[in-house]
Each structure stands twice: as C-alpha cells, then as structure tokens.
Chain A
C-alpha cells in the first residue's frame, strides 16, 4: 500500500515522492521488527522444547532417542514405559470424536431453533454457554466431582470416555461463538420461510438449507473443540481420569524428554488443525463466490 503511494505522483500528494518513499521504507522496517519480536516471543519456548528433546539435559549429548521412542512406540532404551502415553492419546482422540458429536447434536439444532424463534432466549443461551469460560476449571471440578462419583459408581463406569460430558460443557463457549458467527452471516429466518413455503418439511429445511450454509462454522466449532479437548488437563487430572495431557505429565516424571516431544507433537497437531480449518473455509468461500 505504502509503496504504491510512493509511486503515485498525483497533484494532491502532500510531499515529494522521495520523502514518502523514505517514510514507507521506515514504516516497513518497524513492521518487520515488530513481527520478528512477536515471532521470537512465540517461537523461543517451542525451540527450547525442541532443543530439550534433542539434547540430554544432564549429559549434554545430542540424540534423536526420544523421537525414535515415540515413533517406534518403544521407550525401553530410555527406561520409560510408553503404554500410559498411548492410553492417554487413545482416550483423548476418542474424547475428541465423542465430544464433537455431542456438541454438534446439542448446539446446532438448539441454536438454530432459538435463532429463529426467540431473540431473548438466544441471549440467555449465549450467557449460559459463556459461563464455562468465566468459571475457573477448578471450581467446575468441585461441582463435577460428586456427579462423576455418582456416574462412575451407579450409572456408568470409570472409563475416561465419560469425561465427554464435562468436555461438552468446556467447549461450549467456543462452539457457541463459531456457530453464532455462521448463523448471523446468513438470513436464517428468510431462508427457513422461503424453503417452508416451497413445501419443505422441517427436517428438509434443516439438512438441505441450514446445515449446508453453516458448514464453515460447524467445521470451525469442531476444530476448536478438538483443540480444547486435546489440551485439557485440569478436569481429567482432578477427576483422576487418563487423557493425553495427564499421560504427558505422568511420563514427564519418568522421562521428561519423551513427554516434551509428545507435547510438541500435540501442539503441532493443533496448528495443523487450525491451518486446515482456514484452508477449507477459504476454499469453500472461493468456490461459492466464483473466480
């Protein structure tokens, strides 16, 4: 932008082009410095983690051993038992799937109906959905504790998969935002009325008109939920269930290098998810708007 302005010698230009070019250069240098600083701030811990996994903290020897251990699934050479890690990873991935499924089943129809029928109720639901953000996890767990005691003793069992109920609550604020953005970007009421008057039954309206127009927000709600579930530690740990983060912590007690390497991988997975989300929604938008 600034460079373009520098080339532009229109009569309205307040100063000579050379000067404006100089200012534009100065501005771009400042931008570059800020970007570099931010990147450094974000990347230094990650690089430190990476170095930590490659260089043994006590002997100072460089080796790929922790990464080999993770990818071969055999940590015996490093004296670590990886079964807990696989267990945690397995239940976290399963939790992702179940949580997203319950979240979508619960949130999408509710939000669509409320959006069409009652603005007041929509605000109430927004407030409720935002609550988990404002209540500290530890307070939440205090409340969840007795419920899960009863759930695991009398109704279900102690399988970590049942954490999904608590996780649906945890992802609600993020999912709500994502879906609300989608609902507000289309004129749901008119689309519903148009399809109803054309003879569509409610299920048809929902699946053929609303869902296809909400795809992007449903995807982003799902991805954000997955990121939250993969990174969740407090609730699982305090309720004594095993998930990825709990496993990483436990493993960190015996072999911190493998644990750190795994954390890096989990982080990378999250980044890949978010980038994928961006790419997919970008592609969808482009297809609809045409070239």
Chain B
C-alpha cells in the first residue's frame, strides 16, 4: 500500500500545479466578493458557462447500496459533491465501494437509498441511457463488430445524428485522442492503449454532462498508463467536462485529480486537493494509504506533540494523550551522525539500508534506544528517513550509528 517516496515527492510537485489548475477551472471562485443582484446574474452566467462547457455539478446524497445477498453495505450513506468542470478521483483499495459509487452515479446499479443530482436535477430514477453520462470501462468495451470510427459514432447515431455529420464529429474525436489514422481498424487490430483511447473518444463524442472513468488504465502496461493518464487530464481540461475517475493507484490519482476522495468501507474518508490530502491527512487511514508514513510514538496535547524530544505542530483532529502515534512522512525526518550530535533532541538509531533514488536518498533505520518499541509487539521501531542527496552525511554506511530527529512540520496524531 505504501509507495516509494519518489512518488510522494513528484506528487507534491504535481499537487502544487493542480491547485492552480483547479482555481482556473472553477468558475465559482470568481463569485467571491459579489453581492445582491450581481450574485444572481453571476450565478446565471456561471450556469450558462458550465452548461456550455458540458460540465454538470454532481451531488450524491446519503446514497446506500446493498448488493443482493451481501451483509455489508457497498455504499454506506455515501456523500459526494462535485463542482462543474472538476475532475474528482475516487481512490481506495479493492472492495471499498469506489466502483460501486461510480456505477450508481451512472445508473448501472440500483441504489437502496439517497439521491443523486446532476446539474441540480434529480436523476435517481432516470435510466442509464437518459442520464447523458458516458463511461470508459476497465475491460475493453469497444464493439467488436464496428471499426474505431463506427464505435465513436455509435452514441451520435443513437441520438439520430445524420451520417455525414456523425462521421465528421467522430473523426474530430479520434483526432483529439490522436488516433485519426486508426479510424478504419477493428478492435482486434488495435493495442490495449489504442482501444482505451477510442473508448475515451467514444465517450467524449456525445458531449456528456459527466464523464465516468472506471479504472480505465488498469489493464494497460506502465508506460502507456502514464501517457494515457496525462492525455486524459489534458483533454479533460480542454473540454471542461465534469469527470469522476476511479482508481486504486494513488500515483495516478495524485497526478490527474483536482480533488481526491479516499474511500474506505463505502464512504469517503477525506476528499481534498492532492496536496492537502498528502500534507494534512484527516485520518490515519488516509495518511497511511497515500504516500509513505512512519508511525512514531509521541505525546500530544491536541495542538502540539513531542516526538523524540522535538516539538511539532499537529493537524486539527489529532488525538490527545501521553502515548499517541504520530504519523510522520519520511521527508519530514532528518538524520545526522551520532558523534556529530550537539543537541538534546533526536534518538539514536542504526542504519539498516540506504536506497539512492537519484536526487533523494531513503535511509531505513532501526531505533536502538530501548524505550521506543512498537506498541503491542517487541519488534524494534523502524523508521524511514528521506533526505535530499546533498544532506546525507558523507560516507554513511549500513550499521552506522545515527540520530533521527523529526522536522517541525505539521503531522497527524492518532
């Protein structure tokens, strides 16, 4: 579940730029500071704008889904609120309900409770084919008896568009995904990546109010996956289509999302911009699910904690107590050689492994001081530290004695 810190770093960088994107794409942001009649006018303009751009807001309110014969709820009072033009990623392990949420939104699953609104209209009882949503599936879903072009034109044909016009529109969509030269090919003649791009073009061709992506990249190999996810994001930004993307891959989620909803047991644990999610996780589940985290013993008063003698601020919602677990990212720890220590903070540790990751170095250490043990078992406390390569003490080797100190960066205690 934990990923390499390189990922976390690049994700943080990504998050920074995503934040700006989110602002650009969020027309509601321009409403700030407007009053009275102006609000109405601005709201109307906003609605018109979002309708023009094909985006619809989405509200899923207290949605309950129970599969026949299942004891547990697949969706348990599930709530989700998405702004027009936003790209929200639902992230979670298998069985957390993320696909069920997407399929309920699409109308492919009947729900047992709650409401679903798209663009302010209640679509809870609307059949799938009337919801004006388009979906890209994990398994290849192109119609095998049609060419790529015919596949893309299918949704238009269903809507009664003339033959010449739908050919033209379909061709434009194929160009958008860079597959115009594959228009006459059948499914079996295309690679997996090409098939998913045609599926994307097919979904976009009908100008859906909402684009639904159900792990569209899971069946592809790593390189194609990265290319296609970037392409999906840039197309989504161009068309401004409200998009819900479901994945179990946190790197994918961090890379494309305006906001990520981390799901657990049929609910969203936390929904926030990738950067917030990484830096200010609301729960232990979120903190450990995204990126790499050290579980370190400490004492907390709810606002501040002391870990290894170092005081550090806590994220709102942290636990209080003399024996809490503080979740600290590897990059928020630092280490120096034991003999160079001239401070009273930090704790002695032995270097267990050193991983060079280019610009960064990850050092696995085992705390040697006996008072820090993992609660509940007698295994020594293992702590991973991540440093810029330049900060690594010269000639540090496995077995060396070091001192590990947390940096004073906000962390979550639980």
Query: Which A residues form the contact surface with B (CB < 8 A)?
Result: 186-187, 190-191, 193-201, 204, 208-209, 212-213, 215, 288-290
Interchain CB contact under 8 A, A197 and B134: yes
In the assembled complex, the Cα of A186 lies from the Cα of B154 at a distance in Å of 18
Chain B 116-175 residues near chain A, CB threshold 8 A: 127-135, 137, 139-145, 154-155, 158-159
Interchain CB contact under 8 A, A289 and B202: no
Given contacts A197-B106, A197-B129, A200-B158, contact A187 B141 (CB under 8 A): yes
Q: Return chain B residues, CB-CB under 8 Å to A208.
A: 154
Pick the contact of B129: A186, A190, A199, A215 (CB < 8 A): A199
Stretch in B32-40, B185-193, B381-389, B390-398 touching the partner: B185-193
Interchain CB contact under 8 A, A190 and B189: no
- Say yes or no for B333: interface residue by CB 8 A criterion: no
Q: Return chain A residues, CB-CB under 8 Å to B154.
A: 195, 198, 200, 208
Would you call the interface of chain A mostly helix, strand, loop, or mixed? helix
Q: Return chain A residues, CB-CB under 8 Å to B142.
A: 194
Residue tally, chain B, CB below 8 Å to A: 33
Pick the contact of B128: A191, A196, A204, A215 (CB < 8 A): A196
Interchain CB contact under 8 A, B135 and A194: yes
Given contacts A193-B108, A213-B143, contact A199 B206 (CB under 8 A): yes
In the assembled complex, the Cα of A212 lies from the Cα of B147 at a distance in Å of 13
Interchain CB contact under 8 A, B155 and A199: yes
Q: Return chain B residues, CB-CB under 8 Å to A197.
A: 106-108, 128-129, 131, 133-135, 203, 212
Interchain CB contact under 8 A, B108 and A198: no
Interchain CB contact under 8 A, B133 and A191: no
Name the distance in Å between B36's Cβ and chain A's nearest Cβ. 41
Query: Which B residues form the contact surface with A (CB < 8 A)?
Result: 106-108, 127-135, 137, 139-145, 154-155, 158-159, 185-186, 188-189, 199, 202-203, 206, 212
Interchain CB contact under 8 A, B141 and A212: no
Q: Return chain A residues, CB-CB under 8 Å to B143.
A: 191, 194-195, 209, 212-213
A-B contacts, 13 of them at CB < 8 A, read A191-B141, A193-B128, A193-B135, A194-B141, A195-B158, A196-B128, A197-B107, A197-B129, A199-B130, A204-B158, A212-B145, A213-B143, A213-B144
Interchain CB contact under 8 A, B202 and A198: yes
Name the distance in Å between B25's Cβ and chain A's nearest Cβ. 24
In the assembled complex, the Cα of A187 lies from the Cα of B144 at a distance in Å of 10
Given contacts A195-B154, A199-B129, 8 further A-B contacts (CB under 8 A): A190-B140, A193-B128, A193-B135, A194-B137, A198-B134, A201-B158, A289-B188, A290-B188
Interchain CB contact under 8 A, B141 and A190: yes
In the assembled complex, the Cα of A14 lies from the Cα of B309 at a distance in Å of 73
Q: Return chain B residues, CB-CB under 8 Å to A190.
A: 137, 139-141
Name the distance in Å between B67's Cβ and chain A's nearest Cβ. 13
Name the distance in Å between A202's Cβ and chain B's nearest Cβ. 8
Q: Return chain A residues, CB-CB under 8 Å to B129.
A: 196-201
Residue of A nearest to B133 (CB): A197
Interchain CB contact under 8 A, A199 and B141: no
Q: Return chain B residues, CB-CB under 8 Å to A200.
A: 129, 154-155, 158
Q: Return chain A residues, CB-CB under 8 Å to B139.
A: 187, 190
Residue of B nearest to A285 (CB): B188
In the assembled complex, the Cα of A194 lies from the Cα of B130 at a distance in Å of 13
In the assembled complex, the Cα of A247 lies from the Cα of B254 at a distance in Å of 77
Interchain CB contact under 8 A, B132 and A199: yes
Interchain CB contact under 8 A, B158 and A198: yes
Name the distance in Å between A282's Cβ and chain B's nearest Cβ. 15
| Residue with the greatest number of chain A CB neighbours at <10 A, chosen from B130, B133, B145, B159 | B145
Name the distance in Å between A112's Cβ and chain B's nearest Cβ. 15
Given contacts A197-B128, A200-B158, contact A288 B186 (CB under 8 A): yes
Q: Return chain A residues, CB-CB under 8 Å to B130.
A: 199
Interchain CB contact under 8 A, A288 and B158: no
Kindly list the 9 A-B residue pairs having the minimum CB-CB distance in the complex, ordered from nearest: A198-B155, A194-B141, A196-B128, A212-B145, A197-B135, A190-B141, A199-B158, A200-B158, A199-B129
